[in-house]
Structure 1
Amino acid sequence: MIRKIVVATALVALLAGCQTTGGNKQTGGAVIGGLMGGLAGSQIGGGSGKLWATGAGAVLGALIGSEVGASLDKADRAALERNTYASFNAPLNQPIVWDNPNNSNRVIVTPTNEGRQQGTNAYCREYQQTIIVGGRSEQAFGRACQQPDGSWKIVS
């Protein structure tokens, strides 16, 4: 269960830290990461462990969101979004890499799996996001499904 909390919190905190625009990126990343981590923890926990999972998710989300938010600039966030959407049409297991020319940050998104969603039969793809900041690597995983109009929606 703890592994699920850490993975889910890392994903939401990574994304939350990346979505912070303007102002103090570190504080914004911590606040949004904490909120999203708490939400993820509350969804993962059950019974008497739900409160613990919510608290642990909030703390982990705040820590991860703060660190990542402090280190990603606007170009890094744009590359993460661009590479993620490019992975929906790229060959499986082919990394899409972007190196920030202004710092040592690196964004890598790799499509890892594809298939049809049960119930809707929508075409979906899974992907792995890796962000390297100051030599430290953070990973997250996601899934997106193609909508009837051809657009893509990130579902997890």
Structure 2
Amino acid sequence: MKYVTRLVLFTLALQLLAACAPDGQITKRDVGMVAGGAAGGVAGGAIGGNDPAGRVMGTIAGVIIGAAVGGYLGSLWDDYDRKQAAYALENSPDRRQTQWQNPNTNRQATITPERTYYEPNGTPCREFTQSIYIDGRKETGRGTACRQPDGTWRIMNNQ
């Protein structure tokens, strides 16, 4: 049953990611949906107890709820936030926090590049920590972004 749960989570995550990225660009909303869905699925499976049917139903409910919440949190970042984050990834030294307040949403956010490394093909990548403040509550995540040939930064994974 453990493998069925993992297969369901993996399949739903791939479907969510593919459905949300028709142009090949994965957005914060997409990443939030997948991360939230995965976390919700794990939590739902644990809440489902020892009953196999309960675990499956809990996992499915957790994926749906987690994807909705994660997608919402990810969508809170608008274009202004993406530009600020890209500027920090491009220009800030490792372990130096960049903070801003979005004039459109009035939300505060920070990003801290933690470690810079280069792929074998020479592509620069940076591990980072990010935080946004929603209604006074701090939501924090970690991820990795790599610079694309066109100069933009693409999130490769997010936790």
TM-score (norm 1): 0.55
Higher relative contact order (CA 8 A, sep 6+): 1
Residue 86 of structure 2 contacts residue 152 of structure 2 at CA under 8 Å; is this kept in 1? Answer: no
1:126 deviates by 1.0
Q: 1:115 aligns with which of 117, 121, 132?
A: 117
- Counterpart secondary structure, 2:96: coil
Cα gap change, 1:150 to 1:78, in 2 (>3 Å): closer
CA distance in 2, matches of 1:53, 1:63: 15
Larger Rg: 2
CA distance in 2, matches of 1:151, 1:69: 18
Aligned length: 122
CA distance in 1, matches of 2:28, 2:150: 25
Aligned-pair identity in percent equals 25
**Residue in 1 that maps onto 2:81:** 80
Q: RMSD of aligned C-alpha atoms?
A: 4.2
Q: Letter of the aligned partner of 1:125 in structure 2? A: R
1:41 deviates by 5.7
**Residue in 1 that maps onto 2:67:** 61
1:146 deviates by 2.8
1:77 deviates by 1.7
Cα gap change, 1:54 to 1:116, in 2 (>3 Å): farther
1:131 deviates by 0.5
**Residue in 2 that maps onto 1:155:** 156
Residue 87 of structure 1 contacts residue 109 of structure 1 at CA under 8 Å; is this kept in 2? Answer: yes
1:93 deviates by 1.4
Q: 2:29 aligns with which of 16, 20, 27?
A: 16
CA distance in 2, matches of 1:64, 1:146: 24
Superposed CA deviations along residues 55-87 of structure 1, whole A, max 9, x for unmatched, are 423322323444x479x4xxx523320122112
Cα gap change, 1:104 to 1:81, in 2 (>3 Å): closer
Superposed CA deviations along residues 17-72 of structure 1, whole A, max 9, x for unmatched, are 8x9xxxxxxxxxxxx83x7643x46998xxx9888656423322323444x479x4
Cα gap change, 1:123 to 1:110, in 2 (>3 Å): same
- Structure 2 unpaired stretches of 5+: 1-8, 18-26, 43-51
- Structure 1 unpaired stretches of 5+: 20-31
